[in-house]
Structure 1
């Protein structure tokens, strides 16, 4: 016996001479020191010696199981590999390593062919396999490029196999699109407002990246009927920042919000947002596939308002609170009380086809549109009336509101965000 640093008795594998010793060892009551050579021939000789030493072939089934567990633990072999070795010992009475010396099948498509395939994919933006096969055939047969002779006869299925090979992957990086995952949150349909305000469309606008650093996110919300618009700014679109922003947005509208429609982005299609809307009894809908107009109103406002005002240049995330304060104090009042919008009129022809026109006579501010609705006061939130809203709308003129908004924007960008930017 020898002793390790913890004064625990350790014995060598040669001292395990009986099945009882092996059982105690496997149960952890006996510590054993063992080292198996990394040389496969020596490992096979040791394994054969152990099978002979315990007379494995003459043991009963339970004792064989103990020996097998012992050999598995010591050698580190898998159960399948050890079973094959024991079968060889039972058949021949010894263990010998059977070295494979055959060269296997000769490769038809060499690394050179794979590089040609990768270059062809790169050149033509990775079309389908049939198109690449046809291009290889044309390269060899029509244009006489002899290097494509082998690839001209490739099958489409094996072409995809070559695309998965290591030689191809080393030559060219490819990116797979995110696979869509269905979600039960929200109803996939176009919201139906029936001419009532309170059915809002929401979208997110990202303010660019710089040196792998994300910019701020603008949350743009537009009412379908009145085009009442609220823009909010957050550092990130995680739940920590988005849920308070949504609460602020919903509170800003003077009328009761009845519907909430978004695209299928995960920032909105999640259980936190669904729980908030359910608490407020707001209908939650999301855009349908192949119906790009479902959220077109918010997306058009992204370009007409957010991008025109903030551009495309990167804005660091730390400035989100200052931008959000600017939106709340200057931008949102200007958009809703002082900036006119076109409102459509739907015309149905004799065949039943509908088309929209935007007459000049229908142009008005979102607030004026709200007041023009039948029984408009019934849509206002409790405690809000048109007398109070009129004071906000008529406190300053449209030009003064625009000047104030421009000056505040210039001060924000020149003094804080982009000191050298002229605005």
Structure 2
């Protein structure tokens, strides 16, 4: 069978000379032979008629000249380095924090003008890149993480009916201080036995995050973690919203919250989306950085708490987020969510005006003292340590969870007699 290019060349001249009625006949023949649509066949024949016979191959395809690269190779390499240091932010977020990241890296001599591809021109190119361009250049180096874990939240029966169910639009959510909270189980593939829990709190208004690992979910450990959070979070906790787990809904935690004047609410039973903010942080903070290994020793818990201090600095000061502001409509009338521009939790905290002038000065100085490259290196070092401590143990537990189809040769093989 002749190629489509040859067929196009064959019918092109006939199509050009044919009347309007006969052109329809020619199109029908070309469509039957090539399988093209009518519009495609018409376009191909019209283009072929403009070229002399024998150039059907050129008619069949017109290769587009590749667009010249707008940004230099050096800029792309530095972009990849900054992206890795930032914690793998998406293009929209990295575009927002690019200037502060470059300033901090220069201040700590991690990037020096005139060395290792970094120049004033490269800096200018990085600051000029759009979010879509950043994503396009970073596409080859992105890694995908597809690991899953186990939920260990159990509904508590005592005191549950006495706790107010959180409602949309509660007044306490309109300013910093209202935190959603949850615990993440570090049980690995097996839920049995004692294992560490990570208490995770995030402010609904600003996204400020506090993370701390405790021995287990006993109320004494959870309460100790909450007291530590109240001391270390730089603004007052005005409200706490938890799920229905008994580690939160107990007399000791509720009495402590009441003594501090903290508004206490809970989500609806079995409605995980009621706590969408903290569920997102569980994945983006705890699981992403702490993995799904099993941690059940003091050494592992200490390593995790060293990790969380580094991660909290990165998340609170250097990683922006977006917040929904309402609903809009697309061009075809479909409803869509509308978000504000990306801002870091620290920036949102400054915008809220709840900090005293001395706090603003001290926290700004602390943010300016952070070295993103050192934070990234320390996070990687602690993660490597966790892998050494728990990686093999978790793998063995995973393999042991599957029953073997082979007999245990140590017990011998029973032989039927008689």
TM-score normalised by L of structure 1: 0.50
Cα gap change, 1:202/1:392 in structure 2, threshold over 3 Å: closer, same or farther?
same
Provide the rounded CA distance (Å) in 1 between the counterparts of 2:223 and 2:371.
Answer: 34
Q: Supply the RMSD in Å over aligned alpha carbons.
A: 3.2
Q: CA deviation at 1:397?
A: 3.9
Secondary structure of the structure 1 residue equivalent to 2:237: coil
2:240 to 253, 260, 269: 260
Q: Are residues 348 and 193 of structure 1, via their aligned partners in 2, closer, same or farther at CA, if it must alter by over 3 Å?
A: farther
User: C-alpha separation between the residues in 1 aligned to 2:191 and 2:325?
Assistant: 47
The structure 2 residue matched to 1:337, chosen from 317, 330, 344, is 317
**Secondary structure, counterpart of 2:228 in structure 1:** helix
Is the 1:258–1:281 Cα contact (8 Å) retained in structure 2?
yes
Aligned length: 236
Aligned to 1:356: 337
Q: Counterpart in 2 of 1:186?
A: 163
1:406 corresponds to 2:380: yes
Correspondence 1:306 to 2:268: no
Deviation at 1:183, TM superposition (A): 2.5
Q: Give 1:128's aligned residue.
A: none
Q: Secondary structure at the match of 2:174?
A: coil
Query: 1:269-324: per-residue Cα shift (whole Å, max 9, x none)?
Result: 01100111111111001012475432111011111121111221212243454135
Following the alignment from structure 1 to structure 2, what is the Cα–Cα distance between the partners of residues 211 and 260?
A: 27
> 1:407 and 1:258 mapped to 2: Cα distance?
36
Q: Which residue of 2 aligns with 1:118?
A: none
What does residue 185 of structure 2 align with? Answer: 206
What do residues 72-110 of structure 1 show as CA deviations (whole Å, max 9, x unaligned)?
A: xxxxxxxxxxxxxxxxxxxxxxxxxxxxxxxxxxxxxxx
Give the Cα–Cα distance (whole angstroms) in 2 for the partners of residues 232 and 247 of structure 1: 11
Helix, strand or coil: the match of 1:261?
Answer: strand
Return the alpha-carbon distance in structure 2 between the equivalents of residues 404 and 212 of structure 1. Answer: 32
C-alpha distance in 2 between matches for 1:224 and 1:284: 14
What SS does the aligned partner of 2:268 have? coil
Structure 1 residue aligned with 2:200 = 220
> d(CA) in 2 for partners of 1:211 and 1:306?
18
The reply to whether residue 389 of structure 1 matches residue 363 of structure 2 is yes
Cα distance per residue 1:248-288 (max 9 Å; x no partner): 11222111111100011110001100111111111001012
Equivalents in 2 of 1:292, 1:355: separation in Å?
22
Which residue is 1:131 aligned to?
none
Q: Quick check: 1:278 aligned with 2:248?
A: no
2:207 and 2:383 map into 1 onto residues whose CA distance is 23
- Normalised TM-score (structure 2): 0.50
In 2 relative to 1, CA 194–316 (structure 1 residues): closer, same or farther, beyond 3 Å? closer
* Structure-2 change in CA distance of 1:312 and 1:325 (3 Å): closer
Q: For the structure 1 residues 397 and 340, does the alpha-carbon distance in structure 2 shift closer, same or farther, using more than 3 Å as the test?
A: farther
1:420, distance to aligned residue in structure 2 (A): 9.6
Q: Matched residues in 1 for 2:209 and 2:180: separation? A: 9
The Cα of 1:412 is off from its aligned counterpart by: 4.5
Task: Look up the SS of the partner of 2:288 in the other structure.
Answer: helix
CA distance, structure 2, for counterparts of residue 188 and residue 420 of structure 1:
40
Q: Which moved more, 1:382-391 or 1:334-343?
A: 382-391
CA distance in 1, matches of 2:393, 2:156: 43
Task: Name the SS for the 2:172 alignment partner.
Answer: coil
Match of 1:372 among 344, 347, 351: 351
Check the 8 A contact 1:234/1:324 in 2, yes or no.
Answer: no
